[in-house]
Amino acid sequence: MADALAACDVNQVFPQMDLDRMPVGVHGRKVKRNRLLHDGDRVEIYRPLQLDPMEARRRRAHRTKH
């Protein structure tokens, strides 16, 4: 996985991201960076949430009421 992350060069597109500290996963499940990848695996990089999902839902509900 580490080789795949290095090859995708995410830091060129998102220089503000500290890729070494962000959790990664495959197909929606967090995995360790030393995991071997298989054909068809979807590598994912998980960023911190900008807003709590419950708070986002409250804000949307509030907007639709007004």
CA 51, 8, 30, 17 dihedral sign is negative
Q: Can you give the pTM of this predicted structure?
A: 0.67
Is 70 exceeded by the pLDDT of residue 66? no
10-62 tens-digit pLDDT: 888 888 888 888 999 999 999 999 999 999 999 999 988 889 999 999 999 99
> Which residue range forms the structural domain that includes residue 52?
2-65
pLDDT at 30: 95
Q: What is the DSSP string of 17-60?
A: --GGGS-EEETTEEE-TTPPP-TT--EEE-PPPSS-HHHHHHHH
Domain count of the chain?
A: 1
